[in-house]
Amino acid sequence: MRTKILLLSILLFPLLYISFCNQKKAPKNDSSSFPTSLKEYGLFDGPIDRLQPAVNVFSYQLSSALFTDYAEKQRLIRLPRGKRI
């Protein structure tokens, strides 16, 4: 009898644990809320082909060089008005 109870508890515990842990579902990403083009981010002023950073958008360089197949890149950070680093 003890063996059956022990075996039953060993089998039921993982199922109960999984069912209680999975009750909180992760929120679904609504891809429609993300910008669909680079221009929609508002990082650049003027024609997008000039890539001129907008007001409160600053270009920065990493202190450690990362190899990326000789690609040119521009890293930008936007600061809220009135904030500074």
- Residues 7-30: tens digit of each pLDDT: 777 877 777 677 777 666 666 666
d(CA 77, CA 79): 7
Burial 55-76 (b: 16+ CB within 10 A, else e): eebeeeeeeeeeeeeeeeeeee
Query: What is the value of pTM for the model shown?
Result: 0.49
Quote the pLDDT of residue 50.
87
